[in-house]
Amino acid sequence: MKKLTSITALLFILSLSTAAFAQTDKDSKKDEMQSYMEEALSKLPEADAQKFRDTMKEAHEKNMAIADRIHGLHDDLDDILSADSFDKSAFLATSKKLREVYHEMRENTDNAFADAAAKLTTQERKTLVAAMAYPHAKHKAQ
């Protein structure tokens, strides 16, 4: 029974997650996006590229602490779904909190990207847009 509820919880959580958090080919998609970004950054002056990387690395480190909270909330959902009696309000509250924490993580990333992009020239930002266009166009075509 616990295995079934764990699977149910996992499927539910995956449905809440954005594509960035999808489990299917997560590592390969991450590597693919990083390679496009690194290719774009390699076209920038090294000092600017490094500032960009440093800003994004700081956001990643913040997000790692948030990921620990996400894991805890997943555990909480597992406990709620595995309990002898189902507590609907606890389930909904925990699910809502999980969405909020995912949103917080995304905001950290978006804010870091915006801060890093604000320090670039128009042409340098266009270089980043070009690097991000292929993965986006590939997703759009599917």
- d(Cα 4, Cα 10) in Å, to the nearest integer? 10
- pLDDT band of residue 82 (cuts 50, 70, 90) is very high
Query: If you count DSSP H runs as helices and E runs as strands, how many of each does the chain have, helices first?
Result: 5, 0
The pTM of the full predicted model, rounded to 2 decimals, is: 0.63
Listed residue (14, 29, 116) closest to 70, CA to CA:
14
Identify the CATH assignment for 2-8+48-141 out of 1.10.1760, 3.30.1330, 3.30.460, 1.20.120: 1.20.120
Contact 4, 77 (CB under 8 A): no
- pLDDT given for residue 4 in this prediction: 47
86-133 residue pLDDT tens: 999 999 999 999 999 999 999 999 999 899 999 989 998 888 787 766
- d(Cα 49, Cα 6) in Å, to the nearest integer? 43
